[in-house]
Amino acid sequence: MKAPRITDTSLRDGSHPMRHQFSSTQVQAVALALDEAGVPVIEVTHGDGLAGSSLQYGFSATSEMELIAAARVVCRQARIAVLLIPGIGTLKELEQAQECGAQIVRIATQCTEADISQEHFEFAKKLGMEAVGFLMMAHMRSPELLVQQARIMEAAGADCVYVVDSAGAMLPKDAHERVKALKEALGIEVGFHAHNNLGVAIGNSLAALEAGADQLDGCLRGLGAGAGNAPTELLAAVLDKMSLNPGLNIYKLMDAAEYVIAPMMPYQPLPSRDAITIGYAGVYSTFLLHAQRAGERYGIDPRIILTELGRRQAVAGQEDWILDVALELARGSLPT
């Protein structure tokens, strides 16, 4: 095994629990602490990526372009990354982000929709940016199908493709199998992005590393959607004990987590009942509130609704299924 490159996504995935209310001052404090601790890549955008600030996804308190520029100006060695989800962000926002100091773009699609990302990869390369592919909800498809999708991104110009455990639904075996399949099939780097809904974010990250992952993600104090991500400071400590530290200052990361990010956090993400349900069912965390409302309306445990949605492999954009499932359960058409 070799030491992986670490990307800290506190200022992007962490935007979800922060309700997208990061200020420029907060972003600079976090970015500076990460930079001084040796983190090589820092991701900064709305939780749903470029142009995510909207009624549908939640408005940002501060323009993401302002946040990107604020992070860039304090970083001496770290590079700034942004997330782009085709259909939310456009090439226009990507160019603006690059002008504000972004050097890496992580282009995210559902794990079955890599074909919609081609123009985004091509444009990123024209801008001189490093381009990373994100195959979201990767637990929903077999390693073989993920390889097919990853090859589409590789052909479009991706420098790396990530297996993304968006719902925190994977176990170490799942992470290992998917990363191993991509490593054997691709001629580019492979990454892994973990969520902690089932409490195994670090374990899954290590399984991915054992399978050959070149890049891993984390968030300070686990600040991220659902039950959070693999805590960057914990990931660094574990890697150091494995003699695979990629140049991170563990003590500075601990201090950043304790004294910089923790005072900003509205709550500590953890595998609560709701978060566990999301991971167990394998659905997006955005389904939770809708399922709770439907459950209250029809007298159905929302966990049963979410589990059925997971069985049906519902993805973002299929929220209308929630009422259908609740009605079927209320009528006795489905077992409870």
Does the annotation place 12 within a ligand binding site? yes
CATH homologous superfamily for the domain 5-264: Aldolase class I (3.20.20.70)
Whole-angstrom distance, CA of residue 334 vs CA of residue 276: 22
Q: Is residue 16 annotated as a catalytic residue, yes or no?
A: yes
Closest to 291 measured CA to CA, from 267, 309, 276 = 309
User: What H or E segment, with its residue span, contains residue 334?
Assistant: none
**C-alpha separations of 222 from 10, 38, 129, 230, 273 in Å:** 8, 18, 27, 6, 17
User: What H or E segment, with its residue span, contains residue 213?
Assistant: none
Tokens 């719902």, residue located: 167
Does the annotation place 13 within a ligand binding site? yes
Does the annotation place 141 within a ligand binding site? no
CATH classification code of 286-331: 1.10.8.60
Per-residue pLDDT of the chain (336 residues; tens, 9 = 90+): 899 999 999 999 999 999 999 999 999 999 999 999 999 999 999 999 999 998 888 899 999 999 999 999 999 999 999 999 999 999 999 999 999 999 999 999 999 999 999 999 999 999 999 999 999 999 999 999 999 999 999 999 999 999 999 999 999 999 999 999 999 999 999 999 999 999 999 999 999 999 999 999 999 999 999 899 999 999 999 999 999 999 999 999 999 999 999 999 999 999 999 899 999 999 988 788 888 888 899 899 999 999 999 998 887 777 788 988 888 888 876 665
Spans of all domains in the chain: 5-264, 286-331
Domains 5-264 and 286-331 share a fold: no
Does the annotation place 193 within a ligand binding site? yes
Sign of CA pseudo-dihedral 56, 269, 285, 204: positive
- 16, 46, 120, 290: which one is catalytic? 16
